[in-house]
Amino acid sequence: WYHNMSSVTDAGPTVRTNQLDYDDDVIFNAERYLFDHARSKDQRPFCLTVSMTHPHDPYAITKEYWDRYTDDEIELPSFELSPNEQDPHSKRLLHVYQMDREKITDQQIKNARRAYYGAVSYVDDQIGRLMKVLEDTGQADNTIVVFSGDHGDMLGERGLWYKMSYFEGAARVPMIVCAPKYFSASRVQESVSTMDLLPTFCEFAGLSQTFAMPIDGRSLLPHLAPDSHTNGHDEVIGEYMGEGVIAPMFMIRRGDYKYICSGNDPDQLYNLTEDPQERINLAELSEHASVLAAFKAEANDRWDADAITRDVITSQRRRRLIAAAHKQGTEPKWDFQPFRDASVQYMRNNIDLDDLEQRARFPRVHAKP
């Protein structure tokens, strides 16, 4: 399994981690990219993805960010469920990451949350660095910035940790679009998906909405420009075939409701407007039978769970076979390996200093006669 509870039991301040090495490198290279673009002669628009790993388990962050919070500010989970109260999928997750609440202290939970909050502040500062580069290079007004994430973290809520479920703590992510020149400030209440970003970016760029193959995302422009007189959607469709499931798990989030189903597991239905903590499973209440039946019928029409299961198992077997074959002889490397030609990037005795400064300085300096 990928996760266990060491992320919680070992949580706390640190001097250095693998994730800090990674994210610091990401931000440095992103800054360099933005500077390179600003001082180049290439006037074409750019698209830059800056992908950090924080905030994420293991829950460890430097003292600078750890000290931005105190233990008194860190709340324990709002509520926990005992293992025998959990739904079947959550019970399997507890087994996957070897959760035993009796071996996890309240202080360890606070440590994990405090480090996570510190990591959020770390990310905030890194985004601030990039925004400053855009301001300093005159690109801020002409750049659309979209900030989002790929998953949340239960952080002990409901007695659960990490992701791997469709409860709000794990599935809900931030989504911020910053483009004051184009859109006025507003809060979008409807549920949308990160899958909606691709068609949104294409529409930003004025590209045709004809794609090489069908896509599931829908443009967010109606949400961002409400005066377009087009109603934005309020729906997210989810499919999960990862850790903790023994059958594909599906989710429909629309309007007030969230519906979750997976194989022989009992259905789950929540009204997130009235019950934002998802404490009451309406699928167990007869008065909501008609709503449940409608979602159930839609899920049956939308998904062929048996076919998806066969596809997943076939894919697993194929990838295991290929992985084993790659370990024979010289193993191929598929990781991104960036190469920068330092021979012309920094000062060398075969480069004219004025020429180097002319192309590297921002704002640009005039070439010497």
Sequential DSSP letters for 276-327? TT----GGG-GGGHHHHHHHHHHHHHH--HHHHHHHHHHHHHHHHHHHHHHT
Please classify residue 153 by burial: count the beta carbons closer than 10 Å to its beta carbon, then call 0-12 exposed, 13-18 middle and 19+ buried: buried
More confident residue, 352 or 217: 217
Separation between Cα atoms, residue 66 and residue 178, nearest integer Å: 28
Separation between Cα atoms, residue 265 and residue 260, nearest integer Å: 10
pLDDT per residue as tens digits for the range 30-61: 999 999 999 998 889 999 999 999 999 999 99
Fold of 234-329: Arylsulfatase, C-terminal domain (3.30.1120)
**In this predicted structure, what is the pLDDT of residue 339?**
79
Give the 3-state secondary structure of 164-223.
Answer: CCCCHHHHCCCEEEECCCCCCCCCCCCCCCHHHHHHHHHHHCCCCCCCCCCCCCCCCHHH
Q: Where are the domains of the chain?
A: 1-188, 234-329, 339-369
Is residue 334 pLDDT above 90, yes or no? no
More confident residue, 323 or 364: 323
φ, ψ dihedrals at 318, nearest 5°: -60, -45
Under the banding of pLDDT at 50, 70 and 90, the label for residue 368 is low
Fold of 1-188: Alkaline Phosphatase, subunit A (3.40.720)
**In this predicted structure, what is the pLDDT of residue 1?**
66
Q: Do domains 1-188 and 234-329 have the same CATH topology?
A: no
**In this predicted structure, what is the pLDDT of residue 211?**
86
pLDDT per residue as tens digits for the range 225-239: 866 556 889 999 999
Q: What is the CA 299 to chain-centroid distance, rounded? A: 25
Is residue 243 pLDDT above 80, yes or no? yes
Determine the angle formed by the axes of helices 106-136 and 18-39, rounding to 10 degrees: 10
Taking residues 52-77, what's their average pLDDT?
97
**In this predicted structure, what is the pLDDT of residue 183?**
87
Q: What is the CA 163 to chain-centroid distance, rounded? A: 11
pLDDT per residue as tens digits for the range 276-322: 999 999 999 999 999 999 999 999 999 999 999 999 999 999 999 99
What is the share, in percent, of the chain residues with pLDDT greater than 70?
97
Give the DSSP letter of residue 143. Answer: -
Sign of CA dihedral 192, 194, 197, 199: negative
Q: What is the CA radius of gyration of the chain?
A: 24
**In this predicted structure, what is the pLDDT of residue 181?**
87
The b/e string for 142-152 (b: 16+ C-beta within 10 A; e otherwise) is: ebbebeeeeeb
**In this predicted structure, what is the pLDDT of residue 210?**
82
**In this predicted structure, what is the pLDDT of residue 289?**
98
Average pLDDT of the chain? 92
* Cα distances (Å, whole numbers) of residue 185 to 56, 181, 226: 29, 10, 11
**In this predicted structure, what is the pLDDT of residue 152?**
96
**In this predicted structure, what is the pLDDT of residue 165?**
96
Lowest mean pLDDT: which of 115-129, 182-196, 269-283?
A: 182-196
Taking residues 179-196, what's their average pLDDT?
91
Separation between Cα atoms, residue 231 and residue 209, nearest integer Å: 18
Under the banding of pLDDT at 50, 70 and 90, the label for residue 367 is low
More confident residue, 310 or 367: 310
The kind and range of the H/E element at 259 are strand 257-262
Q: Would you tell me how many other CB atoms lie within 10 Å of the CB of residue 307? A: 10
Under the banding of pLDDT at 50, 70 and 90, the label for residue 25 is very high
Is the distance from CB of 80 to CB of 101 less than 8 angstroms?
yes
Is the distance from CB of 269 to CB of 282 less than 8 angstroms?
yes
pLDDT per residue as tens digits for the range 116-171: 999 999 999 999 999 999 999 999 999 999 999 999 999 999 999 999 999 999 99
Residues 6+ apart with CB under 8 A from 354: 367, 368
